[in-house]
Structure 1
Amino acid sequence: MDDVGTNFSIGFLDYFIFCGYFIVLSFIGYFSGRAKKDNSEEYFLAGRSLPWYVVGTSFIASNISSEHFIGMIAVALIYGICGGIAEWGTVFTYAFIIWFFIPFLLASKTFTIPEFLEKRFNSSMRSIFATVTIVVNITAFLASVLYGGGVILSQLFDWDLWVSIIVIGTFSGIWSVYGGLRSVAWTDFFTVIVMVAGGLLVTIFGLLHLSGDSQSIAEGFSIMLDRNQATTGVWKQAVDHNIGVFTQENHYNRLSVLQPITHQVSPWLGSIFGFLGVGIWYFVLNQFMIQRVLGAKNTYHAKMGIILAGYLKAVLPVIVVIPGLILFALNPEILLLPEEQMRLEADKGYIYLIELLIPIGLKGLLIAALFGAIQSTVNSVVNSTATVFTLDIWQRYIMPDLRQKQLVKIGMCVSVVILVIAMVMGRYIAFFGDGLFIYIATMYAFFAPPFAAVFLLGLFSKRINGTAALLTIAIGFVTGIGMKVAVSMFPATLAWLSPYNNQGFINWSICFVCCWSLSGFTPRSPADKLSADLVINWGKLDFFAESGEKWYTHVFFWWVLFLCIILGIFFYFSDATF
Structure 2
Amino acid sequence: MVFVGYYFSRKNKNSEQFTKASGTIPGWAIGLSIYATFLSSNTFLGVPGKAFGGNWNAFVFSISMPLAAWVAAKYFVPFYRSTGEISAYTHLEHRFGAWARTYAVVCFLLTQLARMGSIFFGIALSLQALTGYSMQIIMLVMGIVIIIYTVMGGIEAVIWTEVVQAVIKTFGAFLILYLIVQGMPGGVSRIIDIGSSNGKFSLGTFAPDFTQASFWVILLYGFFINLNNFGMDQNYVQRYHTASSEKAASKSIWLCVWLYVPASLIFFVIGSSLFAYYQVHPELVETIKHQVAVERAGLGASAAQVTSLAATLKPEDYGDKIMPHFMVTKIPAGLVGLIVSAILSAAMSTISSGMNASATVFTVDIYKRYFKPEINEKQTLRLLHVATTIAGFAGLAAGIAMIGVKSILDIWWELSGIFAAGMLGLFLLGIISKQSKNHEALTATIIGVLVILWMTFSSSIPSQYEFLRSPLHKNMIIVIGTLTIFLVGLLFTKIRRKALVY
Give yes or no for the alignment of 1:404 onto 2:380.
no
- Cα deviation for residue 96 of structure 1 reads 1.0
Distance (whole Å) between structure 2 residues aligned to residue 486 and residue 426 of structure 1 = 26
Deviations 1:272-317 (A, max 9, x none): 3224532222332111232212221111110111111011112222
Is the Cα–Cα contact under 8 Å of residues 57 and 305 in structure 1 kept in the other structure?
Answer: yes
> Does the residue aligned with 2:333 lie in a helix, a strand or coil?
coil
Counterparts of 1:72-151 in structure 2, within 5 Å, are 72-138=47-113, 140-151=114-125
Length-normalised TM-score, structure 1 = 0.76
Distance (whole Å) between structure 1 residues aligned to residue 223 and residue 163 of structure 2 = 29
Find the counterpart in structure 1 of residue 304 from structure 2: none
Give yes or no for the alignment of 1:37 onto 2:7.
no
Find the counterpart in structure 2 of residue 3 from structure 1: none
Distance (whole Å) between structure 1 residues aligned to residue 212 and residue 34 of structure 2 = 24
Structure 2 CA distance for partners of 1:387 and 1:228, relative to 1, 3 Å:
same
Find the counterpart in structure 2 of residue 48 from structure 1: 23
Is the Cα–Cα contact under 8 Å of residues 77 and 324 in structure 1 kept in the other structure?
Answer: yes
Give 2:248's aligned amino acid: H
5+ unaligned residues in a row in structure 1: which ranges? 1-24, 213-218, 236-252, 525-578
Answer with 51-60 or 497-506: which moved more.
497-506
Is the Cα–Cα contact under 8 Å of residues 425 and 482 in structure 2 kept in the other structure?
Answer: yes
Structure 2 CA distance for partners of 1:280 and 1:32, relative to 1, 3 Å:
same
Find the counterpart in structure 2 of residue 349 from structure 1: 322
Structure 2 CA distance for partners of 1:341 and 1:256, relative to 1, 3 Å:
closer
Answer with 41-50 or 494-503: which moved more.
494-503
- Cα deviation for residue 31 of structure 1 reads 2.6
Structure 2 CA distance for partners of 1:428 and 1:117, relative to 1, 3 Å:
same
Give yes or no for the alignment of 1:445 onto 2:417.
yes
Find the counterpart in structure 2 of residue 206 from structure 1: 180
Is the Cα–Cα contact under 8 Å of residues 458 and 469 in structure 2 kept in the other structure?
Answer: no
Give 1:362's aligned amino acid: L
Distance (whole Å) between structure 1 residues aligned to residue 51 and residue 106 of structure 2 = 34
Deviations 1:502-559 (A, max 9, x none): 23323333223211112234589xxxxxxxxxxxxxxxxxxxxxxxxxxxxxxxxxxx
2:275 counterpart (328, 336, 345):
328
Distance (whole Å) between structure 2 residues aligned to residue 106 and residue 124 of structure 1 = 24
> Does the residue aligned with 2:485 lie in a helix, a strand or coil?
helix
Structure 2 CA distance for partners of 1:92 and 1:496, relative to 1, 3 Å:
farther
> Does the residue aligned with 1:274 lie in a helix, a strand or coil?
helix
Length-normalised TM-score, structure 2 = 0.86
Distance (whole Å) between structure 1 residues aligned to residue 356 and residue 29 of structure 2 = 16
Distance (whole Å) between structure 2 residues aligned to residue 421 and residue 339 of structure 1 = 35
Find the counterpart in structure 2 of residue 255 from structure 1: 201
- Cα deviation for residue 377 of structure 1 reads 1.0
Structure 2 CA distance for partners of 1:254 and 1:344, relative to 1, 3 Å:
closer
Find the counterpart in structure 1 of residue 302 from structure 2: none
Distance (whole Å) between structure 1 residues aligned to residue 142 and residue 74 of structure 2 = 38
Find the counterpart in structure 1 of residue 487 from structure 2: 513
Give 2:21's aligned amino acid: A
Distance (whole Å) between structure 2 residues aligned to residue 225 and residue 174 of structure 1 = 45
Distance (whole Å) between structure 1 residues aligned to residue 77 and residue 229 of structure 2 = 15
- Cα deviation for residue 353 of structure 1 reads 2.6
Structure 2 CA distance for partners of 1:275 and 1:84, relative to 1, 3 Å:
closer
1:360 counterpart (311, 323, 333):
333
Distance (whole Å) between structure 2 residues aligned to residue 492 and residue 121 of structure 1 = 38
Give yes or no for the alignment of 1:380 onto 2:353.
yes
Distance (whole Å) between structure 2 residues aligned to residue 320 and residue 290 of structure 1 = 27
Find the counterpart in structure 1 of residue 301 from structure 2: none
Counterparts of 1:493-532 in structure 2, within 5 Å, are 497-521=471-495
- Share of identical aligned residues, percent? 22
5+ unaligned residues in a row in structure 2: which ranges? 290-309
- Cα deviation for residue 74 of structure 1 reads 0.9
Is the Cα–Cα contact under 8 Å of residues 487 and 495 in structure 1 kept in the other structure?
Answer: yes
Distance (whole Å) between structure 1 residues aligned to residue 312 and residue 230 of structure 2 = 32
Distance (whole Å) between structure 2 residues aligned to residue 49 and residue 481 of structure 1 = 42
Is the Cα–Cα contact under 8 Å of residues 118 and 412 in structure 2 kept in the other structure?
Answer: yes
1:227 counterpart (177, 194, 209):
194
Distance (whole Å) between structure 2 residues aligned to residue 45 and residue 374 of structure 1 = 22
1:160 counterpart (131, 134, 137):
134
Is the Cα–Cα contact under 8 Å of residues 465 and 522 in structure 1 kept in the other structure?
Answer: no
